[in-house]
Amino acid sequence: MDNTTAAPPPTPSAQPNSQLSSSAAAADALSRLLHRLPPTLSLPTRRSKPSTSFPPISLSDPNLQDLLFSASSQLGYFQLTNHNIPSQLATSAELESVSLLDLPKDKKESYFPKNWPLGFEGDEYGNGESFWLDAECSTVSTELVLSSLRQLTRALEKVGLEVIEMLSNGVGFENPLAEDPTRNCTLLWLHGALDGNDGLSGGSYPYIVGLQYQIRCQKYSLLSDSGWVTVLPQVDSIMVTVGEIAQVWSNGRLKKVRGRPVACLGDCENSSCISMSLFVTLPSESTVSPLLPKVITDGVNAEEDEIGEDEEQDNIDSVSKTGRRLFRSFSFEDYAWRVYHEPLLFKDPLDKYRI
């Protein structure tokens, strides 16, 4: 017979006290958890893209023509300093641009009716609204005051024509615009977008050179022949981009920038960005073709000289010097329509006309 004495059962009165103590501790822990402040969350600091070398060129430099040709043949863009366009004019023109963008939509459409490529472009994709204006900033309205915009347009156009003349001399062909001013057409593009949504709305348009006055410190993205680059022009400088028409005229000796400069994400000082870009381009009825130097074209049958489609890009300069064409002639109107309506990020539209 087992004489081991069993342990007495727990005292009944002790069990409720233990349960109450555990419940109180759990309640305290839950209370502390519920009243604990959530951790402070913050987004990582946005890392800005490094700026690409952006050569400043003084309009008073004695070697101006050589500097322009060097920058255009190597990069396709540059900035001009020591020009005679006052900053007050650019600021006043920007204020007039803001007044246009602040108009009710029905007035924008009635004052600037669509007549491609001119007219008002609505905000179809959330990237902002834009205007395409001619050199006189023409409008059917008699109420709008656009005197500063007109003055800035004429001043930038004058600089653009001077650049085209010097680039023509640098490449070695006669400037097609020198003898007949009606051979060029000037377009002013105004665009307003919320910060970070500048995008590529409002279409693009082929041009010889594009110019934009740099009112404030702001980075831009450019789609160059070597891909997207980020540049930071000096305040009060004029940003100049070489367009596809100049590249064809030069038979490939000049680099180009496709489309217009795009304000970088988050780089605008205010909640909205205003862009004013001027394009020296061609009338719609024009034909675009390489303009080979006279010393080369004499006695050369350009139609018989062709370059295989697999020709390396590095050989462009040497090929152009032999007088052989790198591009077929094409209708400017057809090309402009295609560039305006196709996304800029796809294949270079000039590839279709390369020989």
Residue 106 exposed, middle or buried by CB count within 10 Å (0-12, 13-18, 19+): exposed
pLDDT of residue 65: 97
* Mean pLDDT, the chain, integer: 82
Q: Which domains does the chain have, with CATH numbers?
A: 56-285 (2.60.120.330)
Residue 201 has pLDDT above 60, yes or no: no
pLDDT category of residue 38 using cuts at 50, 70 and 90: low
pLDDT of residue 183: 85
Structure tokens at 84: 């005679």
Least confident of 15-19, 176-180, 213-217, 220-224: 15-19
182: amino acid identity, one letter: T
H or E, element range at 95: helix 87-101
**How does DSSP assign 238-255, residue by residue?**
EEEEE-HHHHHHTTT-S-
Cα(268)–Cα(264) distance, integer angstroms: 8
The yes-or-no verdict on residue 311 having pLDDT over 50 is: no
Give the pTM: 0.78
CA 3 to chain CA centroid, nearest Å: 99
Give percent of the chain with pLDDT exceeding 70. 70
- 197 Cβ neighbours under 8 A, 6+ residues apart: 126, 127, 128
How confident is the model at residue 36, as a pLDDT? 62
